[in-house]
Amino acid sequence: MIIIFLIFTIVSLFLRIRESDNIQECIPFLSVSILSWISFLLYFYLDKTLYMFATFEVTSFLIVLLLGTKVERFYQLKFIAFFMLSLLYIFDGVFKQDILYLYVLISTLIALVSKFKIDAKITFPFLLFNIFSMMKVRELVESSISIYIYTIAIIVVLILLLRERCRSFSGDSLFLIFLLWTGIFTFTLELHFLLSAIFMLLTVLILNSFRVKKVNELSDYLLYLISIIIMIPVSKISLPLAIMSLGLFSICLFLNKKEHELLIGVSHD
Amino acid sequence: MFELILITSALLVIFDKKMTNHYFVLAVRLLQILVSSYCLYSNNLGGIANSIESETSSTLLYLFSVIMISYDLEIQKYKRFVKEGIFFLTSVFLVTNLLSISLITTLLIMVLFLYNRRAYFIDYMSIFLISVIALIYFSELASTVLTTKDAYYLYLTSFSEIIFYPLILLFVVVEIARQWGIKRNIRVVLVLIPILLGYKFKFANNVDNSLLYFLALVLLVAIILNGRKVLQSKSLRISTNFLYSISLFTVFTNLIMKQYELAIVSSLTLSLILIIYRLIHREFSEDKSIKSVATSFVLVNFACLPVSFSGLSSLDALGTGVGSLIYGFIVVSMLISILTFCLIIKFNGDHLYINLLESSNKLKMFTVSLFSISLVLMFMNMSPFLVEGKNAHKLIQLIFDTEVETLKEALLGYNLSFIIFLIVTMVIGYFVKVVNENIAWRASFTTNEFLKNISFSKYKYKVIKKSENALSNTKIDERSEIELSSFNVSFFILTFFLIISLIIIEL
């Protein structure tokens, strides 16, 4: 897994440096990448859960406070997350796993929502760092209510898609990406599926933040493929829900392609 | 073998814009195909090929289908990386023995085609179907222990057991139905791969027949609805596509009757005919007479005439003793095919007419070679009702290394249907010849309007029911006759009818 993250870091650095004429513009981007890699390495060497947690919090605070905009929203969400953690103490460890699960969900939301002022592309290494931390937490958290929460989330996303007339099926849409992330976090996927899902998710994120020409149209199809992978464990809970959501996603793909053809022109054959 | 394909494909993608000679790409592709099929034949495969458990028995199948698919791809205007990607994925699909890999490759091929083709809703239906198939399969796979060769058939819920194989067949139906429209062409990959997928999953086929009959009905209705376009445009390209899709209906019935090898080989043969037609049209785009010879070749082979490839294969399907419903469907499709053929000849007969005796040597050579090709294709696919087991379905025996048994019992039914088929062909041909062109046009126009206005399903249902009733009556008569007939008798009757029809025409 670490190789995938390494590849994506190198590719993102390459893309960032190619984009700008002056290397000094890239310095915030570089520093965030280096910071996140330092914390990756720390995750490996620190055994205790508490230290890992501290590393995660310190790194995210550093990055957001140094470079982020809308810090008040970050603080608000962090406050809710810490309040969740304080519940852990109040309930005396009874609902430990469930509370940790909710905490991870809120941290994911923070990662997706936060924006950066000097260089908007810093979002990508920050997301990379968050995904890696999530993969680490995956081994610790195992909640029983997560499946129900996830089922509700799918239904909500389907309703939202229908409300927006299926137009927001893209890598930009926050709730879709959030759903896929939490799907990877919630279920115990097989290793190959997990790796390919992370690979595709990172590809979608990199395409979204860097706007690479030619390949950018592929991101919809990649999203569809990831959603198939996520639906595999969902189908064990309820097959009709999984089939229904795949059907809606394919309709969304169709509408997106139709809109694209109207804008740019028809493809061959 | 895949290492070679990957490296050369990557080189092709990289040097795409620098290459000016078109034949260089073809040469590289030929090298890839030859070397990889030699590797398959000698069982001398590389690491990647071994890791996906490649199969060694069907080198010929690999060779045939890959050559056709890659030619079909090369003449398209797709981007280079899409072509190379589809080529690689199809070769993985053909070679692999693992069901999971073949499902994933199918899914990826469909997605790549989505990226390139004009958006129609039916495409997205097919991608939805294949993704649901993959979903069910992988959710089973995640919950059960892997056995050798993936031959699990332990279903998670009873619902998925009912739904699984019909979904694959429905995928085949949708793929066949979405092949062509006014603005798109038939892609050989999209015809071959669903049928091969059905073959690979053949052990999952333990479902009730009535569901499958329903699927056949859906396909037939889709084909008949497409027939409107033939009536509207009268163009040769669209009518060949229509005849091709009717021939694919016979292939689909073979698939339902669990004759997977027959289905694969006949779809391969049909695609071969189509590829030859396209090749001639591309290479001799200037020469009108050669093009018309090729067109008549393809029309004769696709139409359900008693002497053509697809006609004989439909008769073969009739003779295997299927249920009465499928019998009726095949008969309806054959009737439509003959009618379309006669109408095409009536509308475009002047374009297709060539005076062969006074033409150039090149044209004569072309005609003779195409004629011999169609004869060879016919003899390679002779049904066991006509010839001995040793010579029957020669192509299947070559490709799949199996043996066909000699049949003696079902001879009567086959021959009788052959005779009735001959008579019906004569009658329809004569009818179309006699009918005035204005009346024919008006009839086609009114039927077109009729189809547009009235809800389709009811109308189709009535048509099918009527033909079914007629058929069941005739069938009872057939069986009450004495065992006298053989292939010779039917041949005599053919000549007899030919003479009579000649007399009628002369009068």
> Each residue of B232-274: pLDDT tens digit?
777 788 888 888 888 888 888 888 888 888 888 889 999 999 8
Q: Is B100 on the interface with A (CB under 8 A)?
A: no
**Contact yes or no for A253 and B77 at CB 8 A:** no
* Residue indicated by tokens 């798109």: B184
Residue B108 binned pLDDT confidence (cut-offs 50, 70, 90): very high
pLDDT in tens, A102-131: 888 888 888 888 888 877 788 888 888 888
A208/A212 Cα distance (integer angstroms):
8
| B229 phi and psi angles, rounded to 5 deg | -65, -35
Q: Say yes or no to pLDDT of A178 above 80.
A: yes
Tokens of B160: 């998925």
- Any idea of the CA torsion for B36, B40, B46, B48, to the nearest 10 degrees? 90
Tokens of B44: 């001398």
B306/B346 Cα distance (integer angstroms):
19
What chain B residue is nearest to A256 in terms of C-alpha separation? B119
- Any idea of the CA torsion for B440, B441, B447, B449, to the nearest 10 degrees? -160
B200/B450 Cα distance (integer angstroms):
42
pLDDT in tens, B112-122: 888 777 778 88
B292/A140 Cα distance (integer angstroms):
72
Q: Is A232 on the interface with B (CB under 8 A)?
A: yes
The pTM (predicted TM-score) of the whole model is 0.84
B496/B423 Cα distance (integer angstroms):
10
Q: Is B132 on the interface with A (CB under 8 A)?
A: yes
| A91 phi and psi angles, rounded to 5 deg | -80, 0
A255/B2 Cα distance (integer angstroms):
36
pLDDT in tens, B64-95: 888 998 888 888 888 888 888 898 899 888 88
**Contact yes or no for A232 and B142 at CB 8 A:** yes
Question: Under 8 Å CB-to-CB from A174, ≥6 apart: which residues?
Answer: A112, A113
**B279 contacts B67 by C-beta, under 8 angstroms:** no
A106/A185 Cα distance (integer angstroms):
13
Q: Which amino acid is at A72?
A: E
Number of Cβ pairs < 8 A linking chain A and chain B = 80
Residue B451 binned pLDDT confidence (cut-offs 50, 70, 90): low
Q: Say yes or no to pLDDT of B199 above 60.
A: yes
Chain B hits for A261, CB-CB cut-off 8 Å, are 118-119
pLDDT at B106: 92
Mutation site for B-interface testing, chosen from A218, A222, A246 by largest number of B Cβ within 10 Å = A246
B356/A5 Cα distance (integer angstroms):
69
Chain A hits for B133, CB-CB cut-off 8 Å, are none
**Contact yes or no for A269 and B117 at CB 8 A:** yes
Residue B507 binned pLDDT confidence (cut-offs 50, 70, 90): low
Tokens of A203: 């590809």
A212/B312 Cα distance (integer angstroms):
54
Q: Which amino acid is at A180?
A: L
Mutation site for A-interface testing, chosen from B117, B124, B155, B188 by largest number of A Cβ within 10 Å = B124
Mutation site for B-interface testing, chosen from A257, A261, A266 by largest number of B Cβ within 10 Å = A257
CA B57 from centroid of its chain's CA atoms = 23
**B89 contacts B5 by C-beta, under 8 angstroms:** no
What is the CA angle A159-A160-A166, rounded to 5? Answer: 100
Beta-bridge partners for B54: B96
- Any idea of the CA torsion for B247, B250, B252, B254, to the nearest 10 degrees? -140
Question: Under 8 Å CB-to-CB from B18, ≥6 apart: which residues?
Answer: none
Chain B hits for A190, CB-CB cut-off 8 Å, are 142
Look at residue B279 and give its three-state secondary structure.
Answer: helix
DSSP code of residue B23? H
**B204 contacts B154 by C-beta, under 8 angstroms:** no
Average pLDDT, chain B: 78
pLDDT in tens, A96-109: 888 888 888 888 88
Chain B hits for A269, CB-CB cut-off 8 Å, are 76-77, 116-118, 183-185
Q: Say yes or no to pLDDT of B471 above 70.
A: no
Region for residue B401 given its phi and psi (left: phi exceeds 0; alpha: psi -120 to 50; beta: otherwise): left
The three state secondary structure string of A213-265 is CCHHHHHHHHHHHHHHHHHHHHHHHCHHHHHHHHHHHHHHHHHHHHHHHHHHC
Count CB-CB contacts under 10 A for residue B302.
Answer: 29
In angstroms, what separates the C-alpha of A76 from chain B's closest C-alpha? 39
Mutation site for A-interface testing, chosen from B16, B73, B108, B118 by largest number of A Cβ within 10 Å = B118
Q: Say yes or no to pLDDT of A209 above 60.
A: yes
In angstroms, what separates the C-alpha of A213 from chain B's closest C-alpha? 14
**Contact yes or no for B114 and A243 at CB 8 A:** no
- Identify the CA nearest to A240 among candidates B135, B107, B152: B135
Q: Is B116 on the interface with A (CB under 8 A)?
A: yes
Q: Is B119 on the interface with A (CB under 8 A)?
A: yes
**More confident of the two residues A192 and B387:** A192
In angstroms, what separates the C-alpha of A49 from chain B's closest C-alpha? 30
Mutation site for A-interface testing, chosen from B80, B128, B136 by largest number of A Cβ within 10 Å = B128
pLDDT at B129: 92
Q: Which residues of B63-100 are buried (b: 16+ CB within 10 A; e: fewer)?
A: bbbbbbbbbbbeeeebebbbbbbbbbbbbbbbbbebbb
Q: Is A253 on the interface with B (CB under 8 A)?
A: yes
Beta-bridge partners for A115: A69
Q: Is A207 on the interface with B (CB under 8 A)?
A: no
pLDDT at B491: 62
Look at residue B124 and give its three-state secondary structure.
Answer: helix
Q: Say yes or no to pLDDT of B480 above 50.
A: no
Question: Under 8 Å CB-to-CB from B427, ≥6 apart: which residues?
Answer: none
What chain A residue is nearest to B138 in terms of C-alpha separation? A232
Tokens of B5: 């394909």
**Contact yes or no for B159 and A190 at CB 8 A:** no
